[in-house]
Structure 1
Amino acid sequence: MTTTVRSAIPMPPAAAKALVATGGLATAASTFVHWTWTSAFPGDLTVDGYPGGLQILTLVAGLLTALFALPLYGVRGTRWLTPAGPAAPALLLATGGFATTWFTLIAISYELGGIANLEPGGYIAGVASALPLIGALGLPHRSTTTARPQGVKAGIRHYLGAFGRLIGPGADLKPAEPLDRWTEILVIITAAALGLVVFTYGIVTEYGELFAGFLVLTAFCAWALIRSGLLARLTAITARHRGTATAAAFAAAAAFPFTQSDDHFATVGVNILIFATVALGLNVVVGLAGLLDLGYVAFLGVGAYAAALVSGSTSSPVGLHFPFWAAALTGMGAALVFGVVIGAPTLRLRGDYLAIVTLGFGEIFRIAVNSLDGISGPKITNGPNGIRNIPDLNVLGFNFGIEHTFGSFTLGRFANYFLLMLLFTGIVVVVFSRANDSRIGRAWVAIREDETAAQAMGINGFRLKLLAFALGASLAGLAGTVMAHVSYSVVPDPYQFAGPVPPNSAFLVAAVVLGGMGTVSGPLLGATLLYLIPEKLVFLKNYQLLFFGIALVLLMRLRPEGLIAGRRQQLEFHEDEDDSHESAEPGEPALTTAGA
């Protein structure tokens, strides 16, 4: 077989490019006519001239498809959008628009009782969204067969293979000329602002169908950014301005409460931060040191209970009322002590044996706090009733339990705690980053890769693993102190291995693996997704975990290194693909695109 350049659907390149561009615009235009006759479907898609609900997602998909079609024509200045070639992002964005539109049409037909509930605008949108997808499949790509297959099955395999080659790993990016300093800073600020918009929109979605469509479109858009090479360029820019990028990210996060008028969404935001901070602490243990801890949520519980006991709760058997800084240190110290006590006798185990022991510790903690009720054991935790009536924090005269007005903005209780938890998240990020870049962090990575080899090089594996266990536990305890005050009470039920709602140990481990082990932003993103998905997909009812599991399996199959992976993980999981690129003939591109 020989390598040729051909398309999945045979058509002239000019026609393919025209279908992508005009199809994207037609898809966007179709959102300005009504898709159904009744407002019973959420989002009210009955209005002409004003997109609503899921139509907004189709509008965004159509405009992005048309924008990323410009590099196909070689429009000056647009090549910067697709440094790795324009064909793959055009196909992914077209597929995202098609999937979002047809998801909406199918949801309308299913929920309203048949396709008779679709108006002509819906049929127009369905056809219009297929045009850019057909055009993108007509763009040239690299093929390893000289003859088209015969038969239906062979044809399906051919088109699926062509799709896979088009969106699969492409050639390495050519080094880009750096922009001037202020332009790069402007790019960083714009990226942070867009991230805030996407995050806010995802949280404030009012019904499950809209969030499901949002997930589909966001996934394809993120995939397109990766395949276009634009995300790699942005990563290079943030690496040159690390301080500015960090400040912009935290400024965007701090602006989130000021965009909310409903305290419910601020509640979701602060719970995401708690979950993400605990996941980042677990990343020290799992991502850096390679210790599979299945009972990590117990350290969150230790910190929460310790802080609740000394925070002035009327139901606390201790009867102490520490200031918040002392309560936070108490929670961290208690979690650290438990980490050392549990880790010292168990960290000589490895692999599955260590995982089983930590799983047992998590269950022992939950059973113990249930038993310390004054009947089965000493009265310390009040058993299943927990410690309730935990007072709101009052730090330097600022009461976190009441509303505060800043100009035209009003911050409610959960918005106040969101900003406090963001401060703690920043502290954990700094601790993790410094530990990762230190000599100890490199020793942790060496232990994770091969503990026997690391010990042969003079690394004290047990001592460093115990240090990782203690550090991860103390970071979880810190998050637990805030969690206790946010929820007003601490009860044993949430601190278990698995359950329908995070945080629990299974979700924490999944957040680290899904987001990307050993990175800072990976667990933050993974925790955000794993908290939002169960929160928003309540409409699936009994099928919620089924679809959630299918999505995780597909994601791990397509991107096993995680959503945000370090260079080491990318090389580990895509070694064969890198070898195939190296063995290509000199001068042969890994992906040939029209207009490149």
Structure 2
Amino acid sequence: MTTQTTTETQAPATPKAPKALSYATLGGAVLSFASTFLAWTWTAEFPGNLTVTGYPGGLQLLTLTGALLTAVLVLGGLGIPGLRWATPGGKYASVRFMALATFATTWFTVIAIAVELGGLVNLEPGAWLAAVATALTVAVSFALPREAEPTGTSGWATFAALFKAPAPGRAKELPGWAEILLIAVAFGIGLLAFTYGIGTEGAEDFLGFLLLIGFGVAALAKSGLSRRLTGLTVKHKNVTVTAAFVSAFAFPFTQTSDAYTSVGTNILIFATVALGLNIVVGLAGLLDLGYVAFLGVGAYTAALVSGSPNSPFDIHVPFWAAVLLGALASLIFGVIIGAPTLRLHGDYLAIVTLGFGEIFRIGMQNLDGTSGPDITNGPNGIPNIPDLEMFGFNFGESHTVLGVELGRFSNYYLLMLLVTIVVVLVFRRSDQSRIGRAWVAIREDETAARAMGINAFRLKLLAFALGATLAGLAGTVQAHVTYTVTPAQYKFVESMPPNSAFLLAAVILGGMGTVSGPLIGAALLYLIPAKLQFMADYQLLLFGIALVLLMRFRPEGLVADRRKQLEFKETGQLDTPKGDTGLSKAGV
């Protein structure tokens, strides 16, 4: 009797996917792959030239990549030797998301061809085959059994559960050299994807790229690969940091145009400043809405002492001196502003820092010789800032390095990469130090931190000053990259970052308190407006919607540290205990 009851109460086993559905999905992926070798349209007017038969181009490459990855995930789910690594956590959910990625990219391309060229008549047989094959692949993939149904009764909970990674399966231990090789390959693939995205010629190519990347990242999360890779990066932190900066160093050597490298340079400037703000917001928990002003202090300082003919001071100091002066000026401003304002909390502190940012911008605008002393040339700013020259190396001229000709922006990119390394080292050392732990304690509960003997005001002022110093350091390079420094560059909201609103959004989007989070967030927030300029009038609305969705489904950010994951994770510790707790036996 007891055995029968136990058998009845057991949870039903997860149904196995019929092999026929898996093979049908594989067949759809193969057809999608083959369709990219056929012409999709008859005219080369559409970006990417999709008229060639036998050679994929433009958006066809994205469909080819999505179909290939779908096939790999299906074969991994079938247990094919050598491909089981592709699905360590979940077999079928990853296939569905990758099939969706291929479908979304392909159908976006088909619709874009019809809209741009004036009708479905402009589609060639290859486009029709791709549309039908990807649609069938998605339909069959959704017929595969679900491995874990989302918990909860609300539609929001069901939708949110689709983006949560499955529990990791038992992974076979790999040799140390193999783990290091996997990290290197992962960063190499990341460099390839970033290079492709930044080099897209039209908005259509970039939108298709975003669709594939968005669903593709979800597929990797569902398969368990991203969780496993995260475990490897945590295990080999120094190797991960080295691989990241080697990949970043290789970026200008992969570019054929200095115009694309200029985007990379500005992304590094934006990301470095966002990482400095991460100390203030992410570690210390201080909401600073005027942080871009410290970037302006460093830029104006460098512009005034770097030999510009429009500077009222006839001074031309070496770059290392300009860097120190810019960082020192930002430090002084940070202490002057922080000393009286950091006694405020929450919204009051945010309002005061927002006011400081506007005061700085208006102050620089009024130092024009009419409203005030003639120092900054007013709204016209300080133009004609000369290019840097260090040890006989002129950053404004082209140079051949390792057989590759590097232009002006490539030179500044490599210089800014060194600055980024310095900022990352400062952030990591601060985060792992006693001061960093004190900042986190103040962020979580300032009252409790004070009760434990932490001098909250002094440490908050230190965080404010350090963040200002790092922003000023980046500002000294920005002044030479842009040639001109004007007050309009440092508004709270500007058409293009960096500005205070976008800096704060980059920290929140990427993940507060992490190193890679603000770097990824800054790259996304700069690259998307730069590539999709037709969305300029709606970018604030779109970013607002993106932040609302992020707070709803992933409040810890795209890259979250363990503390944030535990803070936002539903552990169920407050649920009512099930079964006999032992209280009745104790007579309670």
Tell me by how many angstroms 1:143 deviates.
6.8
Deviations 1:403-429 (A, max 9, x none): 111243101111000000000000000
Q: Which residue does the alignment assign to 2:400?
A: 405
Partner SS, residue 571 of structure 1: helix
The reply on whether 1:134 has 2:139 as its aligned counterpart is yes
CA drift at 1:30: 1.2
Paired with 2:531 and 2:432, the residues of 1 have a C-alpha distance of 37
Which sits farther off after the overlay, 432-441 or 83-92?
Answer: 83-92
2:184 corresponding residue in structure 1: 189
- 1:566 offset after TM fit, Å? 0.9
Preserved contact between residue 510 and residue 516 of structure 2 (Cα < 8 Å): yes
**Match of residue 32 from structure 2:** 27
Shift of 1:567: 1.3
Q: What is the SS of the residue equivalent to 2:276?
A: helix
Which position in structure 1 is the counterpart of 2:282? 287
Instruction: Confirm or deny: 8 A CA contact 2:160 2:553 kept in the other structure.
Output: no
Structure 1 contact 370–381 (Cα < 8 Å) conserved: yes
Matches within 5 A, 1:22-61: 22-61=27-66
TM norm structure 1? 0.90
Structure 1 residues 113-512: aligned runs within 5 Å: 113-141=118-146, 167-171=163-167, 173-512=168-507
SS in structure 2 of the partner of residue 32 of structure 1? coil
CA distance in 2, matches of 1:142, 1:404: 55
Q: 1:539: which partner in 2? A: 534
Q: Distance in 2 between matches of 1:578 and 1:96?
A: 37
Determine the structure 1 residue equivalent to 2:584.
Answer: none
Secondary structure of the residue aligned to 1:141 is coil
Q: Which moved more, 1:376-385 or 1:43-52?
A: 43-52
Offset, 1:120: 2.6
Partner of 2:405, secondary structure, is strand
1:109 maps to 2:109: no
Question: Equivalents in 2 of 1:424, 1:143: separation in Å?
Answer: 46
In structure 1, the residue corresponding to 2:36 is in which secondary structure? helix
Provide the rounded CA distance (Å) in 2 between the counterparts of 1:22 and 1:6: 25
Q: State the distance in 2 between where 1:452 and 1:237 align.
A: 37
Deviations 1:54-100 (A, max 9, x none): 11111100000001111211112322222212222111111111111
For residues 397 and 291 of structure 2, the distance between their equivalents in structure 1, rounded to whole angstroms, comes to: 33
Q: Is the 8 A contact 1:38 1:46 kept in 2?
A: yes
Cα shift at 1:290: 0.6
| Greater RCO structure (CA 8 Å; 6+ sep) | 1
- Given that 1:3 and 1:142 are in contact with CA atoms closer than 8 Å, whether structure 2 keeps it comes out as no
Shift of 1:539: 3.4
User: 550, 553, 557: which is aligned to 2:552?
Assistant: 557
The answer on whether the counterparts of 1:432 and 1:520 sit within 8 Å (CA) in structure 2 is yes
Over 3 Å counting, the alpha-carbon distance change for 1:193 and 1:390 in structure 2 is same
**C-alpha separation in 2, matches of 1:90 and 1:76:** 18
Report 1:513-532 matches (<5 A): 513-532=508-527
* 1:297 CA drift (Å): 0.2
Which deviates further from its counterpart, 335-344 or 222-231? Answer: 222-231
**Counterpart code for 2:320:** W
What amino acid is the match of 1:19?
Answer: A
- Over 3 Å counting, the alpha-carbon distance change for 1:128 and 1:309 in structure 2 is same
Asked if the contact 2:165–2:221 (Cα under 8 Å) also holds between the matched residues in 1, the reply is: no
**Per-residue displacement from partner, 1:483-514 (whole Å, max 9, x unpaired)?**
00111111111101112110100000000000
Structure 1's 113 and 552: CA in aligned 2 closer, same or farther, altered over 3 A? farther
Identity %: 62
**Does the residue aligned with 2:485 lie in a helix, a strand or coil?**
coil
Q: 1:569 aligns with which of 553, 556, 564?
A: 564
| Distance change (3 Å), C-alpha of 1:144 and 1:69 | closer
1:589 equivalent in structure 2: none
Of 50, 70, 79, which aligns to 2:75?
Answer: 70
3-state DSSP class of the match of 1:470?
A: helix
**1:405 aligns to what SS in structure 2?**
strand
Q: What secondary structure does 1:431 align onto?
A: helix
- CA RMSD across the alignment: 2.5
- Counterpart code for 1:91: R
SS in 1 for 2:400: strand
Equivalent residues of 1:141, 1:166 under 8 A apart: no
SS of 2:206's equivalent in the other structure is helix
**Structure 2 alignment gaps of length 5 or more:** 1-8, 580-588
**Change beyond 3 A, Cα 1:4–1:165:** farther
Tell me the CA shift for residue 174 of structure 1: 4.0
- Alpha-carbon distance in 2 for matches of 1:288, 1:366: 27
In 1, the alpha carbon distance for the partners of 2:256 and 2:79 equals: 44
Distance 2:302 2:537 in 1: 36
Query: Separation in 2 of the partners of 1:461 and 1:324?
Result: 36
Counterparts of 1:397 and 1:583, CA distance in 2:
74
**Cα displacement string for residues 282-306 of structure 1 (whole angstroms, at most 9, x for unaligned residues):** 0000000111100000000000001
TM-score, scaled relative to structure 2: 0.92
Secondary structure class of the residue paired with 1:561: coil
Matched residue type, 2:391: L
1:148 is aligned to none
Deviation for aligned residue 1:18: 1.5
Deviation string for 1:356-384 (max 9, x for gaps)? Answer: 00000000000000001111001111111
Code of the aligned partner of 1:62? A
For 2:376 and 2:231, locate their aligned partners in 1 and report how far apart those are by CA, in whole Å: 50
Q: Distance in 2 between matches of 1:583 and 1:226?
A: 31
What residue identity is the alignment partner of 2:210? L
